[in-house]
Structure 1
Amino acid sequence: MAPYDSSRWENLIAHITTSSNDSIRLSYISCAPAATTTTTKGTILLIHGFPETSHQFRHVITPLSDAGYRVIAPDYRGAGRSSKPVAGYTKARMAEDLHKLLYSHIGISGKVHVVGHDIGGMIAYAYAQLHGESVASLVWGECALPGSQLFDAIKGLEDVFHFLFHQILDLPEALIAGKEDVYIRHFFDKQTVVADFLDREDFEVYVQAYKQPGAMRAALNVYRAFGEDARRNREWLKENGPIKVPSLGLFGGGFKLAELADGMVQEMCQGGEVRAVEACGHNIAEERPGEFVNEVLEFVGRHSA
């Protein structure tokens, strides 16, 4: 895969205080449109998944910005170079972190396009529920959203063993410690269609990120919050109905969720669209970055001011 261009990226740190009085550090990449761009079309927020960090979007940040968008790609709470507190891993709290990052720290004005993958898709959905007035469009996928009928149907299946394993206190941390590379490699190997999408250096970025003190505990706590996430999502659905923000469910056509995705997206998003990237597994932005960029730009382009 061709090297990615990071020449316009800024690697930055924000210190924010949430409504729960958490003071946390958020690491993020900011990429402005090229100097030749005459009009900035808006802001795209990219939210990564597990076992990844903002590095997941390395191939797509610059192409998205080349199309005229400011791109922000944070390490969410607990991941990468961001703080790793013991608590605060409901997707509503994690969404609040990112809203504070954009509007209180960076000073974004206007609506943003929110794009989330895997755990990031769950955070993106919570973001749209809580801050729909500031969301121009929502692209989310490669996750079974807690509280959805799909999540309830698959949460005990072997393919998602980690949904249950990660709920156990203390034992997963003990078993994974010192074997982070084995554990992380398992997820990439079983979820991938494009076999050579991840070279050794990129894989090591993830391994070293999750070897940091507190990082694996934080990652597991993200899953331990699924029960509360499910409760909140069902509550929102009952009170508000499906979200009204223009929504696209984006899935890898070669991964198992693609064939089940339409029902979930229609359940949770009013008028939601679903697209599958062919010959692609779970990690769309890494396996098929060109197709990822095309799908995102086509959708957000229809919903830009």
Structure 2
Amino acid sequence: MLVQTLEAGDMQLAVSTAGDPRRPALILLHGWPHSRKIYDGVLDELGTRYFTLAFDLPEIGESRGTPPSAEKKVLADIVISAAEALGAKSIVVAGFDVGGMIAFAAARHHGGRIVGAVPMNTVIPGLHPWTKVVANPSIWHFAFHAVPELPELLVTGHQRAYFDFFFDLLAGRPEALTNEMRETLTQAYARPEALKAGFDWYRAFKQDAEANAPARIEVPILYIRGDADFGSIDDYLEGLRMSGAKNLQGHMIANCGEFLPIEAPAEFVKALVEFAPR
């Protein structure tokens, strides 16, 4: 595994890479409140088959610089462009949580630049069952995080305790997220700029939903979900079909919640290898 920093306009993006750049590329994206470190345990194995790149999203972890927007189509463009600058070709974009929203945005808005997208354990803004999910009181944090300034005020200094609540809630096996990993992810949001960047992802959901209006999507999409996560995969597949996805597959991973690369690394790798071109 090689760690480097790329210039991306006014930003610097931290990326961990593995594998030969001449191979087809696989971009791995984290969500909230995670960093690229969530993929450390699977990066080298995936690198035996692909040129694998795990990014810290702008301002998170070791990345620096505020993106032009927190809209997912903008973030998709940023990471795809950074990967292309490293020579990536035949790119598949995969991610979970907010990273999954970005993976879908890559297919929806940048389909000519990638060959596949893998959104995982996420609901896509504007796509069924979006309305149902945001109305669920268990998903209260979507609305809270979208409030200007207040989440930063209340969470600053309490990141670890706040994040632990979500780690325990969303994991099928919370013990899989070790204390070391939890501390690493917490430190990725220690800076005020990082915390704001994470909440800004939620503040952009309205624009994301508008941008995700139905359109014909030819890029192959694999939607993966852990069976311990909220909701049935069938609802999410229906939403993707209604959005215009013409080449869609679904895959369930047993005994797993949101944190697929940590809770079920072997199954996670297998699902990607079976989908992505080699």
Could you state the TM-score of these two structures normalised by the residue count of structure 1? 0.86
* 1:271 aligned residue: 247
Aligned: 1:261 with 2:243: no
Q: Distance in 1 between matches of 2:7 and 2:22?
A: 26
* 1:93 aligned residue: 74
**More displaced, 210-219 or 85-94?**
85-94
- Alpha-carbon distance, 1:41 to partner: 4.1
Secondary structure at the counterpart of residue 41 of structure 2:
coil
Aligned partner (choices 28, 35, 40) of residue 15 of structure 2 = 28
**More displaced, 224-233 or 123-132?**
123-132
Change (3 A) 1:211 1:59: same
- Alpha-carbon distance, 1:212 to partner: 1.6
Identity of aligned residues (%): 26
Give the greater-gyration-radius structure (CA): 1
Q: Distance in 1 between matches of 2:65 and 2:159?
A: 17
- Alpha-carbon distance, 1:214 to partner: 1.2
Amino acid aligned to 2:11: I
- Alpha-carbon distance, 1:84 to partner: 4.4
Amino acid aligned to 1:51: P
Structure 1 stretches lacking a partner, 5+ long: 1-8, 18-22, 34-38
- Alpha-carbon distance, 1:51 to partner: 0.7
Secondary structure at the counterpart of residue 77 of structure 1:
coil
**More displaced, 87-96 or 260-269?**
260-269
- Alpha-carbon distance, 1:82 to partner: 1.0
- Alpha-carbon distance, 1:86 to partner: 7.2
Amino acid aligned to 1:264: G
**More displaced, 153-162 or 223-232?**
153-162
Give per-residue Cα distances to partners, 1:106-153, cap 9 Å, x unaligned: 132x32111111101111111122221221211112111001121122
- Given that 2:222 and 2:275 are in contact with CA atoms closer than 8 Å, whether structure 1 keeps it comes out as yes
Amino acid aligned to 1:96: D
* 1:219 aligned residue: 198
- Alpha-carbon distance, 1:60 to partner: 1.1
Aligned: 1:185 with 2:172: no
- Alpha-carbon distance, 1:98 to partner: 0.8
* 2:223 aligned residue: 249
Q: Distance in 2 between matches of 1:176 and 1:258?
A: 31
- Alpha-carbon distance, 1:28 to partner: 0.4
- Given that 1:116 and 1:141 are in contact with CA atoms closer than 8 Å, whether structure 2 keeps it comes out as yes
Aligned partner (choices 257, 272, 275) of residue 296 of structure 1 = 272
Q: Distance in 1 between matches of 2:110 and 2:180?
A: 37
Structure 2 stretches lacking a partner, 5+ long: none
Q: Distance in 2 between matches of 1:165 and 1:24?
A: 27
* 2:151 aligned residue: 172
Q: Distance in 2 between matches of 1:248 and 1:258?
A: 15
- Given that 2:114 and 2:219 are in contact with CA atoms closer than 8 Å, whether structure 1 keeps it comes out as yes
Aligned partner (choices 104, 128, 132) of residue 111 of structure 2 = 132
Runs ≥4 in structure 1, deviation > 6 angstroms?
A: none
- Alpha-carbon distance, 1:87 to partner: 5.0
Aligned: 1:115 with 2:84: no
Q: Distance in 1 between matches of 2:65 and 2:190?
A: 12
Aligned partner (choices 33, 40, 45) of residue 63 of structure 1 = 45
* 2:86 aligned residue: 106
Change (3 A) 1:297 1:277: same
Aligned: 1:81 with 2:26: no
Amino acid aligned to 2:2: E
* 2:180 aligned residue: 201
* 2:257 aligned residue: 281
- Given that 1:30 and 1:70 are in contact with CA atoms closer than 8 Å, whether structure 2 keeps it comes out as yes
- Given that 1:111 and 1:133 are in contact with CA atoms closer than 8 Å, whether structure 2 keeps it comes out as no
- Given that 2:38 and 2:262 are in contact with CA atoms closer than 8 Å, whether structure 1 keeps it comes out as yes
Secondary structure at the counterpart of residue 251 of structure 1:
strand
- Alpha-carbon distance, 1:40 to partner: 5.5
Q: Distance in 2 between matches of 1:148 and 1:59?
A: 31
- Given that 1:252 and 1:258 are in contact with CA atoms closer than 8 Å, whether structure 2 keeps it comes out as no
Give per-residue Cα distances to partners, 1:6-42, cap 9 Å, x unaligned: xxx111001112xxxxx11111011125xxxxx9541
- Given that 1:265 and 1:273 are in contact with CA atoms closer than 8 Å, whether structure 2 keeps it comes out as no
